[in-house]
Amino acid sequence: MTRPKGLTTLWTRVRRLLWSWWLWAAYTVYLINISEWWAAFGVGLWAGVCSLATPMESAPQYGLDHGLEVGSQEFIDTMEGAAGVPLLPGNKLELLNNGDSFYPAMLKAVREAERSITIEAYIYWAGEIGMTFAHALAERASKGVKVKVMLDAVGSASIGDDILKILKAGGAHVAWYNPIRWNKLRRINNRTHRKSLIVDGYIGFTGGAGIADQWTGNAQDKKHWRDLQVRVEGPAVRPLQTGFAQNWLECTGELVTGPDFYPHSKAVGRLAVQTIMSSPETGASTARVMYVLAISAARHSIEIANPYFVPDHLSIDLFRDAVKRGVRVRVMVAGTPNDTFMARLNSLRLYGALLEAGVELSEYNRTLLHHKTMVVDGLWATVGTTNFDNRSFSHNEENNVCVCDAQIARELNDMFAKDALLCDRVDLETWRRRPFLGKVAEALASFVQDQV
C-alpha cells in the first residue's frame, strides 16, 4: 500500500489533543461534580472556544503519487474532476500589478456598469479609496444598476458609518457575512476571505487586495502594500458570481436571479480558465486540492509568492518529494513588514524543515507582500485570495483563478523575478542561529498553528 503523506509529529498530535473540545468538556463535568463552579465555568468556556476553532477540513494523505504531468490532458481532466470545476474556454485575463493598476481598472468597470455590480470582500476599510468606491457604487445604484455588497463582519468591521451611509443613500444593498451573534457562534470562525468584484455578470476582478488605502500606490514603501489582482472577462466569471450568490442567499435570504447577474455566456478570448470557489462548509478545501495536485505534478519548477506561508506536514512532504525529483522550488513570503504576528512566527518556525528539504526561501521586506500566486513548470498558474495556511484551507471562503497557459505563467514568472530582486534570501545556518527568545515565541505560537 502507498505510504501516506503528511504524517503528523508527536507535538502535532499533542497540540491537537489540547485543542479537543471533548477533553475540556469532560474536565468541566468533573469540576461541576466536585462543585468547583468558577473553574468549571472557565474550563467550559475554553471547551467552547476549542469547538469553534476546530478545523472543518483535513488534508488528503493518499492519491498524490499519481505520475501526472502539468499540461497533459490527464492532468487537466484530473484537476477539473477533483476540484469539481471545469476550465471554461473563451476568456480574456489580465494581470494588474499593485493599486495604481488595479484600482483604476476596477473603478472604470464600476462606472461603466449597465446592469449589476456585486462585491464580496473580506476587507473594506474607511479611507480615501473606500470613499471613492462608495461614491462610484452609489452613483451606479442611483441610475438603476443593481448593486449588492457583501462584507465580512469581522474583516470589514472598520468600514465606518460614512461609507455605509453613502451606499445606502444611493440605493446599494449591503449585507454582512457571518455577523457575531449568539445563535451563529458555531460558525464564528468561518469568514469570507474572498475579494471579488463582478460587473454585469461577465467582467470580474479578484486577487489579494481588499478596498483600503494600504493597497493604493505601487508598493513604494511600507504604507503601500505589494499585491496583484486579475481581471477576467468571459464565461469564467460565472463561478465567481455563483460563489457570491450562494453566500448572499445565506446572509439575506435573497436568491440572486436573472440575466442582469447571469448573462448568456459567450467567448471573448483565447483562454480556458478554471475559477475555484473554496469553502470549509464542503468538508474539503478545493483550493488545497488544487495546490497539492499541481505541486505533486511538478517536474521542473514551482514558484510560490504568498504572504502567510504556514505549510502543514503534507505540504512539506510534497515539497521534499518535488526537490528529490529535480524540481526547483522557490517560495517568496512576507518578511518583517507583516500584519499577522502569529502567522509570521509559525512561518519562521517552519523555515528549517523547508530549507533542509531543499526549498529556496526569500523574504520580501520592502513592504507587506500580499499577493497569492503559484506557477508550476511554466504552465499551470493560479492567482487568488488563498493564503498558504490552515486558516485559508480550513476556515475561510476563498477563490482562485487558474490557467494552463505559458504566456500567463511567463508574466507571473517575470513578476516573481522582479520581486526577488527586493528580497532577502533565507539561509539555513542563519536561521539556526536566530535569537533564543525568538525560538521560544515561535514554539508558543505553534500552539495555534491550525488556527492561523
In a domain, 2, yes or no: no
CATH of the domain at 218: 3.30.870.10
Other Cβ atoms within 10 Å of 339 Cβ, number: 13
Please say which residue of 248, 272, 296 terminates a domain.
272
In a domain, 347, yes or no: yes
Please say which residue of 246, 272, 298 terminates a domain.
272
Q: Are residues 112 and 204 in the same domain?
A: yes
pLDDT digits (tens, 9 = 90+) for 329-344: 999 999 999 988 899 9
In a domain, 5, yes or no: no
177-191 average pLDDT score: 80
Q: Are residues 234 and 362 in the same domain?
A: no
In a domain, 58, yes or no: no
End-to-end CA gap in the chain:
33
Residue 2 pLDDT class (50, 70, 90 cuts):
low
Q: What pLDDT shows up at residue 1?
A: 47
Put simply, whether the predicted model's pTM sits higher than 0.85 gets the answer yes
Q: Are residues 421 and 340 in the same domain?
A: yes
Q: What pLDDT shows up at residue 283?
A: 61
In a domain, 397, yes or no: yes
In the chain, what percentage of residues exceed pLDDT 90? Answer: 81
346-368 average pLDDT score: 96
In a domain, 63, yes or no: no
Q: How many domains does the chain have?
A: 3
In contact, 440 and 446? CB cutoff 8 Å: no
Least confident among 15-19, 78-82, 270-274? 15-19
In a domain, 64, yes or no: no
pLDDT digits (tens, 9 = 90+) for 86-102: 999 999 999 999 999 99
Residue 30 has pLDDT above 60, yes or no: yes
Q: Are residues 281 and 409 in the same domain?
A: yes
Q: Are residues 133 and 220 in the same domain?
A: yes
In a domain, 59, yes or no: no
Q: Are residues 227 and 297 in the same domain?
A: no
Residue 368 has pLDDT above 50, yes or no: yes
Question: Cβ neighbours of residue 436 under 8 Å, at least 6 residues apart?
Answer: none
Q: Is the dihedral of CA 308, 314, 317, 321 positive or negative?
A: negative
Least confident among 322-331, 353-362, 384-393? 384-393
Q: For residues 402 and 294, what is the distance between their CA atoms, to the nearest angstrom?
A: 11
Q: Are residues 221 and 368 in the same domain?
A: no
Q: H/E/C letters for each residue in 378-427? A: CCEEEEECCCCCHHHHHCEEEEEEEEECHHHHHHHHHHHHHHHCCEEECC
Q: Which domain holds residue 410?
A: 73-82+275-451
Q: What pLDDT shows up at residue 284?
A: 66
In contact, 52 and 186? CB cutoff 8 Å: yes
Residue 56 has pLDDT above 90, yes or no: no
For residue 158, what is its C-alpha cell?
Answer: 472598520
Q: Are residues 28 and 121 in the same domain?
A: no
Q: Are residues 162 and 289 in the same domain?
A: no
Q: Are residues 311 and 325 in the same domain?
A: yes
